[in-house]
Structure 1
Amino acid sequence: MMKDWCVRALSRDSARRQSDGHAESNNPLCHLMPRLKLPALREFKRCFLLLAVLPFSSNATGSNYSAIALAELARAQQVLLDAHPAVALKTDRSFNDWIVRGYDEAEKLAMRAANAPQILAAVRYYLSGFRDGHVAVWDPNASSKTMWAGWTAQWRSGEWRVVRAASGWPTTLPEKGAILIACDGLKPSEYIDTHIAPFVDRRTGLESVLDRLALLLSNRIPRDGIWETEKPYSCTFESNGETREYRLDWKASDAGIYSSNKQRPRMGVEPWGKNRYWIYAQQFLSSDLEKNEMEDAISAILSVPAKADVVVFDARGNNGGSSLFGYQMLAALMRRDTPNLESGAQAWWRPSRISVDWFARLARDELARAGPQSVRYRKISEMEKFLKEAHQKSGPDVLVSDGAIEGSQYPSPPEGDSFKGRVVLLTDKNCASACLDFSDLVLAVPGALHVGEATSADSDYLDIAVVDLPSGLQIAVPQKVWIGRSRKANEPLIPEHLFGGDIHDTPSLRAWLEPLL
């Protein structure tokens, strides 16, 4: 009865808004929902989920888009309520404030959604408010067609500087190195804070985030869709003491997107000079690894002589994945001297149905990738069993410590002689999540040296599950929380030696690193 009423009411409301020519909702239910207590809110939202089957079709009306956006927003909040550890922990005031207040703000946007990108933008507005890189939503089927204004600016040494400028552009462009002063009358930081960050990532204190946000000043990237459809019309630059305004000429092109992941080497080891070794550790995502790539890399590390002088772990391009891979790489080198971190910290998991299903999916994928002999497959299966039993015993709202798992989450390190030389960690500003766990581990080796760029950062909530939303969007939600971790939430790791050049220029970087050893 309730569901039927919802569908009829929203259908009448959609027809009325279509005939009136605007997308504002007069349906009293839509305005009532944010003010309801969470248990009642869950019941009322169920009617919106019925509308999520509406497709992202090119001929959908504005009212259809707003209905889909409302349904996706409701489902996104429900995923957080069902699976996020903060809901069970109850002590994170900022999270528990935003989960309701942020929904209220995002719902007002969702009611005005007039196209598919604005559906995504409305949900992203909500999730970005948690200021957590592990809470995110994206469109896995986003178009690859990008628009570029012919130049790209990034935050460099306290200024917005042009780092890339096209040749042969139809209109005059600022030169490389020019300082960006303003776009459409707003300072770059103001434009980003107003039009970009709320729909992508609000952690503007991190340089990795600033780089990503700054791309959207002069690039339009479907995977990072924002609410406004209008692009900046003109921007002002300073170069050689002169200030000049340029009208932006937008063209279909992806040349302005600055990516560190192009042509990455395979995971593994290569000699670097005399008695030194360079270990590539670019990413820990099993889905992106070639068959046996990680296993071959670990075998190669096991062959590094224990008496070598220097080993460099190159984590450029690594923004996370499975922390087990990072542990296995270091353990293959350090053997019995592998550090044991966080003895005073504990990881607590929320045993939700979402988490149980997610680990079952991970186990199937790892079994297909590496077979039943895979260490990672065994550990994933153990975690699935642990969470399933906790879910059945205490329900989804009682956090459980993974210290209760029989044996360590990590396997014992290999036998053999430990490496005795100098360990160097090389990071870029995109190092996050499992890359940060790996960095913590490497830097715990006595005498380890950290070089490169300051890392990104993460919150105390980690280990995401990915949930499919009805429209095809996907949402990431953390499953565990660290209590007592030494590295603070959203705190980057700062190298002892910062590299000021192009972090992707390996020959220059190696020449710079030589005298530091």
Structure 2
Amino acid sequence: MIRTQLLALGAAALFAAPATAQEATPSPMTQPHDWGALLKQDATAAHAAIIDSHPGVQDSLNPGFRSQADAGLAVALERAKTASTAGGWWWALRGFIASFDDGHVQLGLTDPSWGFPTRWPGFLTAYRGDDAVVATRDESDASTPPVGARLLDCDGVSAADLGAQRIGAFRGRWFLEAQKVSFGDWLFLSAQNPWISEMRTCRFETGGRAASYDLTWRPLEGDALRARRTAAGRQPSIDFGFTRLPDGGYRLAMPSFDGDPSGEAFPALTALLAEAEAKQAELRAAPYVVLDLRGNGGGSSHWSQHIARTLWGDDWLSAHGEAPIQGIEWRASQANLDAIRAYLAEWRAAGVPEEDERMVWGLRIEAGMVAAMAEDKSYWSDMAAPPDVSMAAPEAADPPLLMQGPVYVITEAGCGSACLDAVDLWKAAGAVQVGRETSADTVYMDVRDQALPSGLARMAIPMKVWRGRARGNNEPQTPARLFDGDMADDDALMAWIAALPR
């Protein structure tokens, strides 16, 4: 049910990439420390937390997990011998976390305003498919390649290898389109990472002709950095909303599924679901309904299940739900149990009643973990619980379809975690995915937060493993209708959807 962290740290602090900022007080990143010792301490603690609480350690279906964790630690400890800067500490830790290729094993600075001086060569690239092309440049510098130029190689290293070495090695999952879309601009950003060097000469192709460019690196910080990254990435940003469209269709915009009662998304989602229920008849009779998930990185699957029931109804979902999963197993550890109890305490403080499905869920997990730990078991199996609609078995008789028009689900590269759960559920019910390919996740999920000993960073650790999920491990959802335009261009995207044949 809970797919991303709900504790006070918040998603922005836990998952933010380092960004340069001007602080009123000095950043710890600029203070003297024994960075090699801190790296050794934090990497060792991160490894210990993984071994203690991650379900993959005891997973018989993933026998290489433990050796992978040990190998990642070995690289970090070797780097600790020579790490002498904050950048050396940070990027070595990032490399360790990236080695798991798991979007639910994450690392973030304790304060996202901390960061590192950043440099660029006067241009940034973005990925268009597998090609890195110049997306923004300093127009006053004639020595930089033109916008649209395609990268061929740098210092004799192919463009494909550059991406894997300079971004994939520190972000993980480089086989996904979503990673290239999200982090492609980092190919020509330098943020004090001593484990890679700044390129000197690169070749680009424009109009079928290749040309070499000598790179001159210079500072790019603060607002200028943010503006350039925005220009290069063009990531969509939408607000929550329930809108009746001019042609009678409806658009439900849900840029987050965050389940934190103290967060901004919680009241917005609560209001949206209430309006959807109140206008259920209109939604079901509409020529089409758009479920807009742009910007949605996950949260709680509670919201998407509620939307599914409102649109299709329980009978249809029972007959057209996802294939039943084989099992859910929670890694039984004291730290994981403490995290579940923290969720329960926060919900109680927010006034969530004991009979609410979230409280019932949390209390069941708490009791199961306590029982498993008392018997010295590695896992507690959650299959005794009543199934979610996404796990319901099909019925023999097919109930009537209550939706008169198609349901379109807009996705893009940022869709992960509980956003992916929503796409899984809604597509099984008959929704049509449009837009761009999603991100992907492993079968390890429901994360908790843990501080590292330095106090400078925190990590996220999955607590359960999902057995027999229909969508494979690290497998994205691919749209039936691919939008080739700018996913941030709201008017163009909605006009394109309105014109789709129905």
Rate the CA distance shift 1:120–1:341 in 2: closer, same or farther, 3 A.
Answer: same
* Paired amino acid for 1:209: Q
User: What pairs up with 1:220-231 in 2 under 5 angstroms?
Assistant: 220=190, 226-228=193-195, 230-231=197-198
Q: Is the 8 A contact 1:219 1:257 kept in 2?
A: no
Answering whether residue 415 of structure 2 is matched by residue 431 of structure 1, we say yes
> How far is 1:377 from its partner?
4.5
C-alpha distance in structure 2 between counterparts of 1:383 and 1:60, whole Å: 47
Q: Equivalent residue for 1:151?
A: 123
Select which of 101, 114, 131 maps to 2:71.
Answer: 101
Q: Is the 8 A contact 1:350 1:479 kept in 2?
A: yes
* Paired amino acid for 1:349: W
Question: TM (normalized to structure 2)?
Answer: 0.81
Rate the CA distance shift 1:508–1:394 in 2: closer, same or farther, 3 A.
Answer: same
Q: What percentage of residue pairs aligned between the two structures are identical?
A: 25
User: What pairs up with 1:240-319 in 2 under 5 angstroms?
Assistant: 240-246=207-213, 247-252=215-220, 253-258=225-230, 263-266=237-240, 268-287=241-260, 288-290=263-265, 292-302=267-277, 303-304=279-280, 305=282, 306-319=284-297
Q: Equivalent residue for 2:49?
A: 79
Q: Equivalent residue for 2:162?
A: 191
> How far is 1:408 from its partner?
4.5
* Paired amino acid for 2:94: R
Rate the CA distance shift 1:499–1:411 in 2: closer, same or farther, 3 A.
Answer: closer
Q: Equivalent residue for 2:145?
A: 174
**Relative contact order (alpha carbons < 8 A, sep ≥ 6): 1 or 2 greater?**
2
1:403 aligned counterpart, secondary structure: coil
Q: Is the 8 A contact 1:89 1:399 kept in 2?
A: no
Rate the CA distance shift 1:300–1:59 in 2: closer, same or farther, 3 A.
Answer: closer
> How far is 1:209 from its partner?
1.1
Rate the CA distance shift 1:376–1:325 in 2: closer, same or farther, 3 A.
Answer: farther
Q: Is the 8 A contact 1:459 1:490 kept in 2?
A: yes
Q: Equivalent residue for 1:35?
A: none
Question: Aligned Cα RMSD in Å?
Answer: 2.9
1:508 aligned counterpart, secondary structure: helix
Q: Equivalent residue for 1:449?
A: 432
* Paired amino acid for 1:117: G
> How far is 1:476 from its partner?
1.2
Select which of 155, 164, 170 maps to 2:136.
Answer: 164
C-alpha distance in structure 2 between counterparts of 1:94 and 1:411, whole Å: 30
| 1:211-239 Cα distance to aligned partner (Å, 9 max, x none) | 33422122246xxx744374333432222
Answering whether residue 482 of structure 2 is matched by residue 498 of structure 1, we say yes
User: What pairs up with 1:333-482 in 2 under 5 angstroms?
Assistant: 333-336=311-314, 337-338=316-317, 339-369=320-350, 371-372=352-353, 375=356, 377-379=358-360, 381-395=362-376, 397-405=377-385, 407-408=386-387, 418-446=402-430, 448-472=431-455, 473-482=457-466
> How far is 1:139 from its partner?
1.3
Rate the CA distance shift 1:70–1:375 in 2: closer, same or farther, 3 A.
Answer: same
C-alpha distance in structure 1 between counterparts of 2:272 and 2:438, whole Å: 24
* Paired amino acid for 1:462: M
Rate the CA distance shift 1:262–1:250 in 2: closer, same or farther, 3 A.
Answer: farther
> How far is 1:515 from its partner?
3.0
Rate the CA distance shift 1:59–1:422 in 2: closer, same or farther, 3 A.
Answer: closer
* Paired amino acid for 1:237: F
> How far is 1:131 from its partner?
1.4
C-alpha distance in structure 2 between counterparts of 1:377 and 1:66, whole Å: 43
C-alpha distance in structure 1 between counterparts of 2:72 and 2:353, whole Å: 44
Q: Is the 8 A contact 1:196 1:216 kept in 2?
A: yes
Q: Which consecutive residues of structure 1, in runs of 5 or more, have no partner in the other structure?
A: 1-54
> How far is 1:385 from its partner?
2.5
C-alpha distance in structure 2 between counterparts of 1:462 and 1:155, whole Å: 28
> How far is 1:244 from its partner?
2.8
C-alpha distance in structure 2 between counterparts of 1:369 and 1:411, whole Å: 27
Rate the CA distance shift 1:227–1:394 in 2: closer, same or farther, 3 A.
Answer: farther
Rate the CA distance shift 1:282–1:105 in 2: closer, same or farther, 3 A.
Answer: same
Q: Is the 8 A contact 2:322 2:391 kept in 1?
A: no
* Paired amino acid for 1:310: Y
Q: Which consecutive residues of structure 2, in runs of 5 or more, have no partner in the other structure?
A: 1-26, 393-400
Q: Is the 8 A contact 1:320 1:433 kept in 2?
A: yes
Q: Is the 8 A contact 1:56 1:471 kept in 2?
A: no
C-alpha distance in structure 2 between counterparts of 1:313 and 1:373, whole Å: 30
Q: Is the 8 A contact 2:35 2:85 kept in 1?
A: yes
Answering whether residue 112 of structure 2 is matched by residue 112 of structure 1, we say no
Q: Equivalent residue for 1:214?
A: 184
* Paired amino acid for 1:443: K
Q: Is the 8 A contact 1:367 1:374 kept in 2?
A: no
C-alpha distance in structure 2 between counterparts of 1:139 and 1:91, whole Å: 32
1:93 aligned counterpart, secondary structure: coil
Q: Is the 8 A contact 1:433 1:458 kept in 2?
A: yes
Rate the CA distance shift 1:428–1:382 in 2: closer, same or farther, 3 A.
Answer: same
> How far is 1:440 from its partner?
0.5
Q: Is the 8 A contact 1:367 1:377 kept in 2?
A: no
Q: Is the 8 A contact 1:349 1:479 kept in 2?
A: yes
User: What pairs up with 1:311-330 in 2 under 5 angstroms?
Assistant: 311-330=289-308
C-alpha distance in structure 2 between counterparts of 1:458 and 1:467, whole Å: 20
| 1:333-382 Cα distance to aligned partner (Å, 9 max, x none) | 22323353341432111121121111222233344556447946424532
Q: Is the 8 A contact 2:95 2:169 kept in 1?
A: yes
Q: Equivalent residue for 2:8?
A: none
User: What pairs up with 1:109-148 in 2 under 5 angstroms?
Assistant: 109-142=79-112, 143=114, 146-148=118-120
Aligned residues between the structures = 449
Q: Is the 8 A contact 2:182 2:413 kept in 1?
A: no
> How far is 1:75 from its partner?
0.5
> How far is 1:483 from its partner?
1.2
1:475 aligned counterpart, secondary structure: strand
C-alpha distance in structure 2 between counterparts of 1:146 and 1:383, whole Å: 47
1:444 aligned counterpart, secondary structure: helix
